Amino acid sequence: MLKVEGLNVFYGDMQALWDVSFEVRPKEVLVLLGANGAGKSTILRTLSGLSCAAEGSVTFNGVRLDQIPADKIIQHGLVHVPEGRRLFPDMTVEENLIMGSLAPEPKRRRQKTLERVYGLFPRLRERMGQYAGTLSGGEQQMVAVGRGLMGLPKILMLDEPSLGLSPLLAQEIFKIIRLINSEGVTILLVEQNVKQSLKVCNRAYVLENGRITLSGTGEQLSSNDHVKQAYLGI
């Protein structure tokens, strides 16, 4: 479905990604694991066009995404929920959600999708007139995920959705991710919360210093000695 081949990405002189290749299969939950600075977010940023690849290709259903500008990518159904939520703080919850549906097709189905998001996050319906900047962290994350869903994603890329949330809220988010996936949306998840994310995922890749070092199913990696030692602390 999404195929990434030989990605080399630089920030100035510093190389952040080294020959990264992986693929996302339809309807799966794929996780990219790795420590801080391993290059996880850089991969998502490159896929959505915020960072440019020096070499390599990103192919999504036959379209070369690395050759089109960042603001056109969402139209192909690849939606990025960025790290740190990045809501529009001085806009209301509903306006934030609407911003997710600017492309022609999502715009046509805006009202319907909005109802679906409010169904998924009843909390947001209560807060729809409130400024996003005044929400709690968990609510902001709900808006961020909801805003992503408004773009009718084929693949939803989530960058550290559990960051800064209480364990309870984090679990809630993982539950919702699974629910979204069961409705047919492919998930590409970047996480530091290794335990939880290995539980929800079908497959995972481990990223170290900008290189992919391991890959396998969630169970395989959970029982892998290196992963246990380095990430699970067992």
The residues that touch another protein, with contacts defined as CB under 8 A, are 48-50, 69-75, 79-80, 82, 86-91, 95, 98-100, 102-103, 107, 147, 151
Q: Are strands 211-217 and 2-11 parallel, antiparallel or unpaired?
A: unpaired
Q: Are 24 and 2 in contact (CB under 8 A)?
A: yes
What's the closest the beta carbon of residue 177 comes to another protein, in angstroms? 19
With respect to another protein, which residue has the nearer C-beta, 37 or 133?
A: 133
CB of 158 to another protein, least distance (A): 13
Minimum Å distance from CB 86 to another protein? Answer: 4
Tokens of 26: 């339809």
The residues, any chain, with a CB within 8 Å of residue 59's CB and separated by 6 or more, are 2, 3, 4, 5, 65
Label residue 179 exposed, middle or buried (CB < 10 Å: 0-12, 13-18, 19+): exposed
- Strands 14-24 vs 29-34: parallel, antiparallel or unpaired: unpaired
Please say which residue, 73 or 221, places its beta carbon nearer to another protein: 73
Q: Check residue 223 and report its DSSP letter.
A: T
User: How does DSSP classify residue 76?
Assistant: G
Q: How far is the CB of 90 from another protein (least distance, A)?
A: 6
Residue closer to another protein, measured from CB, 35 or 50: 50
CB of 107 to another protein, least distance (A): 8
Nearest distance from residue 222's CB to another protein, in Å? 32
Minimum distance from CB of 91 to another protein (Å)? 6
Q: By C-beta, is 103 or 135 nearer to another protein?
A: 103
- When the beta carbons of 85 and 203 are compared against another protein, the nearer one is 85
Taking the C-alpha atoms of residue 203 and residue 25, their distance in angstroms, rounded to an integer, is 10
- Sorted by sequence, the CB contacts under 8 Å of residue 210 that are 6+ apart come out as 15, 16, 17, 18, 20, 38, 39, 42
Q: Between 150 and 173, whose beta carbon lies closer to another protein?
A: 150
Q: Which helix (H) or strand (E) holds 140?
A: helix 137-149
- Closer by beta carbon to another protein, 108 or else 195: 108
Nearest to 164 by CA among 206, 135, 128, 185: 135
